[in-house]
Amino acid sequence: MIQSKHATSQEAWEHLNESFVLESENIVENGGMVSGPQVLSYDHFLEINKAWVDPEFDFGFIFGYKIQKWSKLITNYIDFDWLDIARSQVLEKENKKNPTYNISFKFSNLHNSGHACLLSLVFQRRHNTDNPMVIINIRSSEITKRLLMDFLLVERIIAYIYGEDHGASLKLYCGNMYLTAESFVMYHNHRDIKKLFKGLETTPFMQRVLDVKKKFSKPEALEMAYKVHRRSAKRLQHVPIKPLLAKDLTLFPYKIDYPEDCITDDQRKKYKRKLNKEKKNGS
């Protein structure tokens, strides 16, 4: 098991991206592998003090994402009926000041497009801690483009369950994590890759990253055959795109105009479930 501790979920994401590239040879020694453009690592356990992604993080500028990416993540993985059941169970325990509890929430995989990467959350109280803990189970994760948005989704779920000032910590278990050079080059818009590599001995995988970055920075790269490569090239060349800030990505991405007789918390929950079902069914 490869273990690491981090102050925030964004810091954990940064650590994983940089360590996979800068320490790829250590990953091989720990049972992972480097194969062509990919670094693959197994059995990661992360302890994170706070679920937090920078509200100003721009998923549009850095990864070329549009709001549909976030909406699809929610509709694919969140069954709001089950989420509300988990929320009610957690709040019941919290209101009774139970010193320990374990409440689970299983992610859906409605469209099968998520390949069931997100498996479950466990909302937990331990007798020797002051704040709740949330355990995240992930089957597999592409860490550059995908993991940070998954972290943001978990952050929004925790705030929905416990409130904004929750103080919850995270533990993440993931059996399979991987990174590709073609996607990692977009990390350059977050932190300068050349500065990351400065003063370090260049490994074969680091050289591959530099070669991909150079290739994707040329105008002709915008016409490459693979869409995923064109996306990276567009981000390196800063092709204009609408901002998609973390602070604008909410669990309920539309304003709800409740009927006048929809007043109580239970009534509003039922109304929200009805809207979400209608949205999923396209009505």
Q: With H, G, I as helix, E, B as strand and everything else as coil, classify residue 178.
A: strand
Q: CA angle 199-200-201, nearest 5°?
A: 130
What's the CATH class of domain 2-251? alpha beta
The CA distance from 232 to 43, in Å, is: 28
User: Given this model, what pLDDT does residue 151 score?
Assistant: 98
| Whole-number pLDDT of residue 10 | 98
- Give, to the nearest 10 degrees, the angle between helix 67-77 and helix 147-162: 60
Q: What is the pLDDT of residue 241?
A: 97
Low-confidence residues in the chain, pLDDT < 50? none
Strands 101-106 and 133-138, bridge-based pairing: unpaired
Q: What is the per-residue pLDDT for 194?
A: 94
Residue 101: predicted pLDDT: 97
Percent of the chain with pLDDT over 90: 81
pLDDT of residue 272: 78
Would you state the pLDDT for residue 274?
82
C-alpha to C-alpha distance for 40 and 35, rounded to whole angstroms:
8
